[in-house]
Amino acid sequence: MRPLYLLREAMTNLRVHRGNVLIGIVTTAFTLVCFGVFVLLYLNLKNLTGTLQGDIEVVVYLDPGASEQVMSLVQKRLRTEPAAVALTFVSKEQALREFAEQFPEESLLLEGMDGNPLPASVVISLSPRFLDTESLGAFAERVKQLPGVTHVAYSQDWIDTLTLVVSYFELGAVVIGTILAVSTVTIIANTIRLSLYTRKEEIEILRLIGATGAFIAIPYVIEGTILGAVGGGLSLAVLKGIVEFFRLELSASGWFMGVEHMLPVFPKQVSFLLVMTGMLLGCGSSVLSVFGLMKVRN
Amino acid sequence: MIQLFHVSKFYDRCAALDDVSFRIDKGECVILTGPSGAGKTTLLKVIFGAEIPDTGQILVQNRNVARLRGRAIPYLRRTMGIVLQNFQLLPKKTVYENVVLPLVIQGVKRREARKRVVDVLTAVGMDHKQTIRTGVLSAGEQQRICIARAIVNSPILLLADEPTGNLDAALTVEIVELLKRIHAQGTTILLATHNQRVVEQMSGRVIHLQAGHVVIDEGATS
């Protein structure tokens, strides 16, 4: 076996059959772009829902008459809850200051009242694992039972809607992702198969003069792998271009001012996934095609 | 060299070869004749392992081809040269690249391979066309390249299936002369043809096939 000869053969084949190779690359790239658009949409929407979920907080209002000791006990108890990622204690005075800042026009209402009517509270940031309606309801119920707690507030409707959207979205992602993945594999495999089928005679000639299966297959497999990698690379460039275009357009629109982290992203793993998928599909399709053509004894 | 024992091959219950037995010794030149469909091509195919006989045994250099596993076939073919009517050359490769291929497959060193290719191309009168792509050559030239490729690894057996089938009378004479020279150097030849003039010019043992049967075996040694 001559590795250099086989590599040179693969390169020559790519050059000689450049028409077929070009069709293979474009098909691979186009199919992977379709798949990549879906993956990016999925990742970005997941990122977005993750950000929104991260913003959900539970506010535990404490009895205005609760002693320092009781308030401290409530906080201590809350820290043991696996759902609570971070706690922020808001004292009565701080609550009043924040109210005045947020609603400067209504702050006059409080001036006429005797003392500070706002209760102290504990703001809890939740772990993403406990953001579904059931877990959150159970958590709120437990917290309500604690001595010194008067009320537990969280946006039930918003959480319900978000939970529903995320579950539908994940189900849709699995279904569409599977269909797209199967289509991608089928289209690329068939393009490479067709390209090799036109060279059936070449394979027959090599077999006639005593070439082994490996000798015949290796250049085709190298060729398919290169074709897949180039197709994957091309799809990567196209997708990067699309994402950058949207980032620039959205940044210029000013809609994401202050929340730039919510702009579309292109994770490094996707680049790797695209090129690797292209290579693996190219390699696998070539192996299947070339050994399929050699199956007949002639 | 080659021994066939009661070899039969059927396609859709129709016998392409029916109880064929004969023996070819080393250095012999055997011409397989018969009308189209007599089984000449099938006979060659079972000898070089492209077809498996339904019954019977085939010994080629003491190897039972009928029982060879698929992966052993390439090694069998490396011991023989095969020339077919439709040339079977790689049209986008040059004359040199086509002829050197059997040597590359066998791992012959580059310098040695080059020497052998030049020698055989000189022998078939094509050494001046080494760098030409075979796709642009004439039919006669392509067949000479095909013969050069078949003999470049000095096989002890040359199988030729209608090697002059696509050639005119003048080119046929050329190819026959070439095959005679190869035979004169000690190569065993089994040539299938339905061209009576080729049979006359080759002057070897004639096996005549009809409907898959051997009906004449002139000059058999045993």
pLDDT tens digit sequence for B54-82:
999 999 988 899 888 888 999 999 999 99
Beta partners for residue A151, in sequence order: A61
Q: Is the pLDDT of residue B99 over 90?
A: yes
Residue range(s) defining the domain that contains residue A116? 57-154
User: Pick from A154, A170, A191: which residue ends a domain?
Assistant: A154
Same domain, A139 and A167: no
Continuous segment of H or E residues that includes residue A89 = strand A84-90
Percent of all residues in chain A with a pLDDT value above 90, rounded to a whole number: 7
Same domain, A228 and A106: no
Judged by CB atoms closer than 8 Å, whether chains meet at A204 and B88 is answered as: yes
User: Pick from A154, A171, A195: which residue ends a domain?
Assistant: A154
Q: In angstroms, rounded to a whole number, what is the distance separating the alpha carbons of residues B112 and B118?
A: 10
Weakest-pLDDT range from A119-133, B24-38, B153-167:
A119-133
Tell me the range of A87-96, A123-132, B102-111 where mean pLDDT is highest: B102-111
Q: Is the pLDDT of residue A261 over 70?
A: no
What's the gap between Cα B83 and its chain centre? 4
Same domain, A168 and A287: yes
Same domain, A217 and A76: no
What's the ipTM? 0.88
User: What is chain B's mean pLDDT, rounded?
Assistant: 90
Q: Is the pLDDT of residue A296 over 60?
A: no
Q: Is the pLDDT of residue A250 over 90?
A: no
**Is A16 in CB contact (< 8 Å) with chain B?**
yes
Q: Is B39 helix (H, G, I), strand (E, B) or coil?
A: coil
Chain B segment 37-76 residues within 8 A of A by beta carbon are: 45, 49-52, 70-71, 73-76
Q: Is the pLDDT of residue A257 over 70?
A: no
**Is A209 in CB contact (< 8 Å) with chain B?**
yes
**Is B107 in CB contact (< 8 Å) with chain A?**
yes
DSSP type of residue B82: E
Span A124-150, average pLDDT: 84
**Predicted confidence band at B159 (pLDDT cuts at 50, 70, 90)?**
very high
- CB-defined contacts A:B, below 8 A: 53
Span A249-264, average pLDDT: 69
Same domain, A168 and A253: yes
Q: In angstroms, rounded to a whole number, what is the distance separating the alpha carbons of residues B134 and B136?
A: 5
Same domain, A203 and A64: no
Domains: count for chain A = 2
Residues of chain A found within 8 Å of residue B106, distances taken between Cβ atoms: 210
Domain ranges in chain B? 88-154
Q: Which of B70, B82, B106 has the CB atom closest to A208's CB atom?
A: B82
Q: Dump strand ranges (E) for B14-167.
A: 14-24, 29-33, 55-60, 63-64, 80-83, 157-161
More confident residue, A115 or A276: A276
Span A107-111, average pLDDT: 69
Q: In angstroms, rounded to a whole number, what is the distance separating the alpha carbons of residues B159 and B190?
A: 5
On whether the pTM is more than 0.80, the answer is: no
Q: Is the pLDDT of residue A18 over 60?
A: yes
Rg of chain B over CA atoms, in angstroms? 17
**Amino acid found at A297:** R
Q: Is the pLDDT of residue B156 over 70?
A: yes
**Predicted confidence band at B174 (pLDDT cuts at 50, 70, 90)?**
confident
**Predicted confidence band at A298 (pLDDT cuts at 50, 70, 90)?**
low
Same domain, A277 and A209: yes
Same domain, A116 and A189: no
Q: Which of B51, B71, B77 has the CB atom closest to A208's CB atom?
A: B77
**Distance, in angstroms, between B28 CA and closest chain A CA?**
22
**Distance, in angstroms, between A229 CA and closest chain B CA?**
26
Same domain, A177 and A256: yes
Same domain, A45 and A187: yes
**Predicted confidence band at B129 (pLDDT cuts at 50, 70, 90)?**
very high
Same domain, A66 and A197: no
Span B193-199, average pLDDT: 89
Same domain, A66 and A32: no
CATH number at residue A109: 3.30.70.3040
Q: What is the pLDDT of residues A33-89, one digit of tens each?
A: 888 888 888 887 777 777 776 677 889 999 888 888 888 888 888 888 888 888 889
User: Pick from A132, A154, A176: which residue ends a domain?
Assistant: A154
**Predicted confidence band at A112 (pLDDT cuts at 50, 70, 90)?**
low
Work out the angle at residue B91's Cα, subtended by the Cα atoms of residues B151 and A212, and round it to the nearest 5 degrees: 55
What tokens does B60 get? 């080629």
Residues of chain B found within 8 Å of residue A204, distances taken between Cβ atoms: 88
Residues of chain A found within 8 Å of residue B71, distances taken between Cβ atoms: 212-213
